[in-house]
Structure 1
Amino acid sequence: MKIALLGATGPSGLQVVKEALARGHTVTALVRNPEKLTEKHEKLKVVKANIYNADDMAPHFEGQDAVLSCLGTTPSWFSLWTITFYTDTAKPIVEALRKANVTRLVFMTSWYTKYDRSDPFIINWVLKPLFLGPTLHNMGQMEDYFDQECADIAYTSVRPPQLVDTDTSGKPVLAEVAQSIRSPGKRFVCCRRDVARFMLDAAEKREYIRKCVAIASG
């Protein structure tokens, strides 16, 4: 496959680069600072691009089989309650996809992007109000945007829980079209390589089209 990747210099994006190259895919990494991506491979092309500019991205999307995105942001104290990064970047990405005539998009979000009163108390009444609420809310708004305004985009939202840098066990990644994967008494995490594995599997097999999928390491 030919894959364009956004967010390749982040820890999850780097794992997508490594996994995609290990599978023999050709990767075009669109990054803000090319010097930050030190991975070298004959099938890896690194280009500088502005993720807020569709015209800047579209030429690099042309001819690709899929676009994958591991874009994320670490909010500053001043922007903690007004996060719009995910919707702000989704719209130019969609515009670039349409200009390039590419429809397949796989992107990373998180567990708990939508409110569900049956979710754990610590999620609804501690983590969301005090820490993660604005980020998760804006991720949810992005998912709504793709669902309601992008009928032509074959998207998959990949929702991992807490991310860890451990090695993959190689076991199948747990997946469910849901807010989270529920299992009494078990704390789920997902290693970044498993996120990469799942995103590439979804792109290769064209699975979970127009779905939001919670995942976790097996």
Structure 2
Amino acid sequence: MKLAILGATGPSGIQVVKEALARGHEVTAVVRNPDKLTEKHENLKIVTADIFDSESLVPHFEGRDAVLSCLGCGPSFFSIWTITFYTDSVKSIVAALRKAKVTRFVCMASWYTKYDANDPFIINWVLKPLFLGQSLHNMGQMEDFLEADCSDIRYTSVRPPQLTNGETSGKPVLFEEGQRISSAEKRKFICCRRDVARFMLDVTEKDEHIRKCMAIASG
């Protein structure tokens, strides 16, 4: 497949690039600073673009079978500042997808993007108020935009929990449609970035979970 990958210089994005190349795909890595991506491969093309400018994205999306995004921003302490990174970027990406006539889009979000009174106390009353609230809220707004305003986009939102840089066990990635994996044991509330990459490539190749939000975790 011919893939465009956004956020390719980030810790998750580089894993998606490596996994895609290992599977024999042709990869266009769309980055802001090409010096940060040191990966070399005959099937890898590194290009620069502004993710908030749809016109700069269009040439790099044209002719692609799918666009995968690992874009993200850091948490805001005490959730003081409103975050619009995810909605601002996805609106630009969708505009570029439409102009490039690409309909398949796979992006990263997170567990707990929506409020649920049944979620653990530490999530609703510690992590969200102090650290992750604005980021998770804006990820949820991004998913709402895709659902409500993008009927022509065949998206999958991939929702991992706490991310790690550990090695994959090679076991199948756990997945479940919704906010979290309800049957996961405590030790499963993590996901290594390579497993995120594996799942994103799996759903792209198999054309699965269209217009769905899928919670995942390492197996």
Q: Does 1:148 align with 2:158?
A: no
The two structures have a TM-score, normalised by structure 2, of: 0.97
What amino acid is aligned across from residue 146 of structure 2 in structure 1? F
Matches within 5 A, 1:172-211: 172-183=172-183, 185-187=185-187, 188-211=189-212
Matches within 5 A, 1:64-83: 64-75=64-75, 80-83=80-83
Q: Contact (CA 8 Å) 1:27, 1:43: kept in 2 or not?
A: yes
Cα distance in 2 for partners of 1:184, 1:170 equals: 17
Cα-to-partner distance string for 1:24-82 (whole Å, 9 max, x where unaligned) = 00000000001110000000000011100111001110010000000001156698421
Cα distance in 2 for partners of 1:184, 1:46 equals: 38
- Aligned residue for 2:12, secondary structure, equals helix
What amino acid is aligned across from residue 131 of structure 1 in structure 2? F
In structure 2, relative to structure 1, the CA distance for the partners of 1:190 and 1:78 (3 Å cut) is closer
Residue 183 of structure 1 deviates from its aligned partner by 3.2
What amino acid is aligned across from residue 68 of structure 2 in structure 1? L
What amino acid is aligned across from residue 30 of structure 1 in structure 2? V
Matches within 5 A, 1:1-218: 1-75=1-75, 80-183=80-183, 185-187=185-187, 188-218=189-219
Q: Which of structure 1's runs of 4+ aligned residues deviate more than 6 A? A: none
Q: Contact (CA 8 Å) 1:75, 1:83: kept in 2 or not?
A: no
Cα distance in 1 for partners of 2:12, 2:80 equals: 22
What amino acid is aligned across from residue 217 of structure 1 in structure 2? S
Aligned length: 218
Cα-to-partner distance string for 1:72-120 (whole Å, 9 max, x where unaligned) = 0115669842100000101010000000000000000000000011111
Cα distance in 1 for partners of 2:30, 2:58 equals: 11
Structure 1 residue runs without a partner (length 5+): none
Q: Contact (CA 8 Å) 2:78, 2:131: kept in 1 or not?
A: no
Residue 125 of structure 1 deviates from its aligned partner by 1.1
What amino acid is aligned across from residue 197 of structure 2 in structure 1? A
- Aligned residue for 1:176, secondary structure, equals strand
Cα distance in 2 for partners of 1:182, 1:201 equals: 22
The two structures have a TM-score, normalised by structure 1, of: 0.97
Cα-to-partner distance string for 1:1-28 (whole Å, 9 max, x where unaligned) = 0000000000000000100000000000
Identity %: 73
- Aligned residue for 1:11, secondary structure, equals coil
Cα distance in 2 for partners of 1:207, 1:72 equals: 23
Cα distance in 2 for partners of 1:198, 1:184 equals: 17
Structure 2 residue runs without a partner (length 5+): none
